[in-house]
Homo-oligomer: A and B are copies of this chain.
Amino acid sequence: MNINKNYLNLEDSYLFSTIAKKVAEYTQNNPDKKLIKMGIGDVTLPLAPVVVDAIKKAADEMGVQSTFKGYGPEQGYLFLREAIKNYYYRKFITINTDEIFISDGAKSDLGNILDLFDKDNTVLIPDPVYPVYVDTNIMDGRKVIFMNANEENSFLPLPDNNIKCDIIYICSPNNPTGAVYTKEALKQWVEYAIKNDAVILFDAAYECFIKSKELPNSIYEIEGAENCAIEFCSFSKTAGFTGTRCGYTVVPKTLVRNGIHLNKLWLRRQTTKFNGVPYIVQRGAEAVFSEEGQLQIKKNIDYYSENAKIMSETMDKKGIFYTGGKHSPYIWLKCPGNMKSWEFFDYMLNKIAVVGTPGSGFGKNGEGFFRLTSFGNRENTIEAMKRFSELF
């Protein structure tokens, strides 16, 4: 018996456990101080009423023999794939229902998609980055090359023609930096991918925060992307589904590598290793796309966006460099006074009882940076920014 020894190459992450430990210590020593947490990447507003109603209606159907649903299609019910197809269509993108795969979230599929690729591929990943991109490739033993995202390129690196790679990760709006690629920049990535015979794995989990029609919500707004890109999206941030679990993956039928259609390969993977998303959850997700659903989720997204605006305005006023905030729930700021990430974390915690995430936890280029999120409530966001303003 040989275990997969690649797992031994994974680095333990102490980022969130260290934060929790420091916060617990602080709270114990300062029981009277009101702590404001702006570190967590999880939503806090409840599910939209239309979603709750749709789930309950579906649960009732499951309790009656004539409307009970057993195994559903692994790829997802057509009613939900149609709704997603129409959602793309309203953004002038044509995706067919058999190119859409319903998942239990972007995280699962971003990991599982790697099943389709040989170990012998080179992977290009921006730094700083969502750690899952790196770890899932280390687990498979693939070679990872990092590309620097930093203040000079506004955390939006462009392709380097001297680097040859096979799999490219792009997350826009980005986690953790909140930076958003323009169409022109993504066009360069698509051209580079095609030239290199590479595949772009495009993480669009935060697309709903984009306010400008000029910025791309989807890689498929770029001509040629249907020949080189797989897109991952999720209802987690769009509709508060972090605990309800539903997302979708688009694998165009025109995406061919080694003469093989990746759509066919992915369908085979999913029918073999997955049994679909719960019917009740798919009905909940479908409700998101109803007219009422779109209005209800917009209210939540606007609420988080307004929080982000309050934070951005504070940074602007103080002249602090940051990315994100405008088309993203994240503010990625340069620590004032050239502080290091953890130094700044301690300073914020001890001086104003505000908790964020040290940027160094997301990669070497994150050192000296700090992530704040807009997923908290309004009152706390205002209070935290007031304390911040008084401190600097």
A interface residues with partner B (beta carbon < 8 Å):
1-5, 7-8, 10, 42-49, 51-52, 55-56, 59-60, 62-65, 68-72, 104-105, 107-108, 111-112, 115-118, 120-121, 132, 135-136, 139, 166-167, 196-199, 240, 242-245, 257-258, 260, 262, 265, 268-269, 272-281
Name the B residues within 8 Å of A48 (CB-CB).
Answer: 63
Could you tell me the distance between the alpha carbons of A353 and B121 in the complex, rounded to whole angstroms? Answer: 52
Which residue on B lies nearest to A140, using beta carbons? B115
On whether the beta carbons of A65 and B52 are closer than 8 Å, the reply is no
Name the B residues within 8 Å of A69 (CB-CB).
Answer: 243
Q: List 28 A-B contacts (CB under 8 A).
A: A1-B196, A1-B199, A2-B120, A2-B121, A3-B118, A3-B257, A3-B258, A4-B116, A4-B118, A5-B118, A44-B65, A46-B63, A46-B64, A47-B62, A49-B63, A55-B56, A56-B56, A56-B59, A71-B243, A104-B104, A104-B277, A111-B273, A243-B276, A244-B278, A244-B279, A245-B277, A278-B278, A278-B281
Could you tell me the distance between the alpha carbons of A117 and B10 in the complex, rounded to whole angstroms? Answer: 15
Could you tell me the distance between the alpha carbons of A262 and B3 in the complex, rounded to whole angstroms? Answer: 9
Name the B residues within 8 Å of A49 (CB-CB).
Answer: 63
Min C-beta distance of A362 to chain B, whole Å: 15
Which residue on B lies nearest to A1, using beta carbons? B166
Min C-beta distance of A272 to chain B, whole Å: 5
Min C-beta distance of A350 to chain B, whole Å: 27
Name the B residues within 8 Å of A196 (CB-CB).
Answer: 1
Name the B residues within 8 Å of A2 (CB-CB).
Answer: 117-118, 120-121, 166, 258
Name the B residues within 8 Å of A56 (CB-CB).
Answer: 55-56, 59-60
Min C-beta distance of A286 to chain B, whole Å: 15
